[in-house]
Structure 1
Amino acid sequence: MTLPSEATARHTLDELRGISWQPFGREDLPAIAAFYTECEAYDENPERSSLADLEEFWDSPRSVPEEDTLVGREADGRVVATAWAGCNRAITERRGVRLAGAVRQDRRGEGIGRAVLQWELAHGLAWDDATRRPGYGPLVMRMFVPTDQADVRDLATRHELPTERYFFEMSRRLDEPIAVPSIDGVRLVDWDVARNDEVHQVMDEAFREHWGHTDATAEMWQEGIDSHGFRPAWTVLAIDDNTDRVIGAAMNYAWEQDWEPQGYTEGYTDQLGVLRSHRGRGIAVALLRESMRRFSESGMDAAGLGVDAANASGALRLYENLGYQRTASTCAHQFTRPQPE
């Protein structure tokens, strides 16, 4: 596949009938959030966006919306499409670009999605060309799509973004009391902001062998902790009694925008990690069960999480044994430009 230059791709967008384009402005975010809600409901996406998500993106010091985003509107101001190629400028070992454009359902089939994706890819390539330095890793541009969204998956494949991975969303009802096992030499404790940096290091180490992982910068980690969805009261740390050090954690969130579409409330374990040196002792099970107990005490109907279907650690089997069931499937389409010799 030969991509156009970014300037040519932008010209193609500008030539689309009845649509004017400009970068996201903060004043645009409520309309863009409503647009995503409409699209995601139509496509039955398992994960939904919210205005708070967009505001946090906009306000992040790492974000450059004036370069990485475009919103397309009709003459009456109604949002038709977004083009979003979020370049991660904080990490250099793998240069990541998140492809997150969308097209309103009544304007699909007009070539808008193709033009949007070509601009996103061209923008990612142009950014990499302009900012690459010796020692930087490969460029990876990635798009996450519900498995059954055939039109977008076909568009990705035609632009040489093959399917790299499948992910399952899983949920477990909390209809019965939750028993939390005890583990010799390990105690489960509440979130402690004084241990923030320690937890960050443990989670990076625990996830280091996982597909697609790169260690988070301190700023990226803090953005997750400061997120509107993070629930300190639900989050659980595992502490080694001998060393008084963190050896694992369940980082728990409330994605309230998902509750109405899915029909139930849910506490969500966004990250579950245990140091390799302490695995095989049931710590992950204890962290999940304690998380479930806290969700239930807060009135949640269910506990949820996501899993890489090809995770080599046996996580999928662990979750199924604990009663989690698959509720949705998402695939990652990926374009990779190898690291220069």
Structure 2
Amino acid sequence: MTLVALIPAHDEQDRIVATLAGLYRQTVRPDRIIVVADNCHDRTARIAQYCGAEVFLPVDNEDKKAGALNQALVPLLAELDDDAQVLVQDADTVLNPDFVRCAVEALEDETVGAVGGIFYGEKGGGLLGMLQRMEYQRYALEIRRKKNEAVVLTGTGTLFRASVLREVREARLAGTIGGGEGHYSLASLTEDDEMTKAVKTLGHRTVSPDGCWLTTEVMPSVRKLWHQRLRWQRGALENLRDYGWTPVTAPYFRQQLLLGAGTLALALFATFAVLNLAIVGWGGLSLFWTAITLLFVVERTLTVRRLGWRAALLALPLLPELLYDAFRQAVFVRSLIDLLLRREAHWVAT
């Protein structure tokens, strides 16, 4: 069985060494490591070659990451047998040393078509970085509660069966699913989310075992975080629009509906609180609502305890995370409005 790692990279000279080092430290190492250096204007390709990786240079690619991967996958899959495996990993990610081994073991179950990683935020980024790490920590707990089902085959690290990637492209060519003629959809802002729905639509399970964890970058500024999340959210909504309501997409539709309900609830609560204080004034503490709030504080604190005492202290006052949640909900509202008004989506590098 052959295992090949594909690393799409655009101007990643500062991070590619750590990414490759993470692959070389794997307890089960890939047979080949290929860096897909897409429209790089720095030394990414040269550094990758120096570190022992192969380099693939896409030709006249204007379709970002999906287009670069599609160009690389065509010749690669022509060489691989159906039992081969392909690891697709972003160049800003470092896999834990047992990632590949755990993913390969998960693919021993023939019902599993792809294994996605569980991502945690890297250190740094100040307060904003910590809030993102707290968000990712809770997302990891949610995956565990869902019995390790992969909600999204994250681009930070996913292992595919070669046969499944072929099947996805054949389905696109046959018109069974949309997205163009390549393995990855060219019609989606979030090709990883779309690929998840494609793999599931074709009848394969997607999983994220506990051992398949990794660390990835956090956005260092509000502006970059806004553009990242706007791309993720707009892409998720567009993918649901394109696939429609199916047994596969039904949970994703419910997730978006709950997000919308949460956004409306927070807005109504804030409006009520402000109006009540302005008209009625402070009425003192309510024992019932104080108890509910304390339970909420305990839950928020316990779910980030593995990040250390700084995360726990940040969770205690609630306000920082409420503002962060309001930010994410603003992204949702903006994405929904853009989708309904059919505004053209623009890809912004983060």
Q: Which has the higher helix share?
A: 2
Higher relative contact order (CA 8 A, sep 6+): 1
Q: TM-score, normalised by structure 2?
A: 0.27
Q: TM-score, normalised by structure 1?
A: 0.27
Q: Which has the higher strand share?
A: 1
